[in-house]
Every structure is written in C-alpha cells, then in structure tokens.
Amino acid sequence: MEDEHLARTSPSAVRIEAVTPRNRDAFVEWAIAHGAEHDDSYTQELDLDMFPTPGEIAALAVSDNRTVGVASLMVDGFGESGLGRFRILHAARFEAYAALLEWVLARVPAAVRHVYLFLPDGSALGETLEQLGFVPTRYAVILERAPAPVPSVVAPPTGEIRRAEAEDAQAWAKVVNSAFAHEPGHYPMTAERAAEVLGDPRAIASFVAWCGSEPVGVSTVWRDDEEQGSAEVVTLGVVPSAQGQGFGRALLRRALAAAAEAGWPTASLSTGSANKPALTLYTSESFRVVDKRVCWGLDVAPRAEAG
C-alpha cells in the first residue's frame, strides 16, 4: 500500500508561503517533528534556534490552513562552492514536495549549481526524491563508540595537541580548508565561521594540533542533544602534509577523553563510506558502523541573477 505521505491526490490545493516571523513557529514545529525522517543534522532544537540563517530560502506548504510540508535551503557558505544544502525538505504528500521544490529553486542564487540532502539508506522518501529529479551521488556512514576507557593520548614527536581557544579561529579555519579541500560539500571556512564552531553552546571541547607554530590538525566534540549521555565528534581533520603521523588518532582520543570526563561517554561521528583511512582509524578506536546515509543531489539549471 502506498505510504500516506506519498499520496498524489489531495482534497484541496497546496499554496506555498515564505517563512516569516508570523509562521516561523509552524516551520520549526514541523522540522522538529519530521527532521529525523531524512537528515537531522540541522533540525535539532539548538540548530533551529538560529533559523533562518543569512540567505536561507525557507517556506511552508499549506492546505486547508494547515501546514502539510516545509522546505529550507541553506546557501550561506555552501553557495561559495556553488552548492545549496537542504536543512529539510519534507511534506505530507507528493504535490506539496513538488510545489516546495519549485518555489525554492526559483529563488536560489545564480551561483548555486547543485542542491542536495541526505536520507537514511532505504528510506521510502528516496522514491519521492527520484520522482522529483534527484539522484544518489554519494554515501556516508554513522559510527558509534560505546562507553569504554579511552587509550592514552600520545602526540607525534614532531608536535603537540592543545585546547583550542577563541584566538585560534584563524588557525582552525586554515586547517579545515586544507584538510577538507577536496571533500564533497566543503565550502571555505572563515575565521568568523570557525569562531562560531568553537563558541557553539553544544561544544564540550576543541583541540588544535601544532607542529611548532604551524597548525596541522583540529578536532571538536559536541554534546548530542538527541541522545542523553552521547557526544558527537563533529570535526576531525589533519592537513595532507601531516597525515599518517598519528595526529588524527591523538586528536580523536583527546576529544573522546574530554567528552567522557564531561559525562558524555558514548560518542558518534560520520564520514564518507569511501574514506577508507578514516574508517580504519575509527574502527581501530572501537567505533562501529550503526547507520548509512545516502546523499541525494539535483543539478540546478543555469539562470540569470535576479534584478
């Protein structure tokens, strides 16, 4: 039997409303209720406290004066790499999906050439995205580490690991831009954005690896508001010239130890399923794969800048 949210017939027409202060709460309520059905990376309550971000294209689908779907495309940062990432694209029926997508795409900046979102592997919503023109482009895995002692941190003899301070934002940005330069979905990290990461209220601890005066690696661990006692390693990266020397393992252990000491003994993280070196490191540190996500992408037709 066809899933109710994919039904193509409806008792009344769908209209699209841009998010405003008047209807923002309705958007947030829907996002919290349904975000985890595709990708909850940006739909937890603290993420939504900052909604909408600069330039975010967001709307509700309404029928019979009731919300039947929402969509939000984030372009701040992403747009610098020609990308847009959906915070959420979710509706109660197909025509609401189609109307939301059409409304959003009509408003994306001319620089955006590709939009994407993640779904759990095997999600029934994949069929809906396929009908809308999306295709699978890559895969990610989520790994989890059960509470267990964290091995001693041994920094490579050529460097040291130090807690990140506010004044390390520029160094943080430099490492991230080097370590993730060729990662799909990466956009330029600025010192301002790095300062936001380091100062996020969910942050438990952040670290920078140094070789002399040169930053070569970073890690940060946040508390996971969705899972009591669970932390998430949201960033772990080492510049190419320093990879293979043990910095990644040392940064990971420092993050795990800090989280455990703060009362968050379970940890999770994610990485691309094709990133074999990262997967080897994580499994050797007692992580195991618990979930798989599919990235669904849609190329956007070139268009002129409005105005």
Task: Give residue 77's pLDDT.
Answer: 82
**Which residues make up the CATH 3.40.630.30 domain(s) of the chain?**
4-127+295-299, 147-285
Low-confidence ranges of the chain (pLDDT < 70): 1-11, 225-228, 303-307
Task: Give residue 6's pLDDT.
Answer: 46
The per-residue b/e assignment along 157-188, b for 16 or more CB within 10 angstroms, e otherwise, is eebebeebeeebbebbbbbbbbbbeeebbbbe
Record: fold of 147-285: Aminopeptidase (3.40.630)
Indicate the pTM of the whole model: 0.85
Task: Give residue 266's pLDDT.
Answer: 96
Instruction: Give 304's DSSP letter.
Output: P
Burial class (CB in 10 A: 0-12, 13-18, 19+), 244: exposed
4-127+295-299 belongs to which CATH class? alpha beta
Task: Give residue 307's pLDDT.
Answer: 45
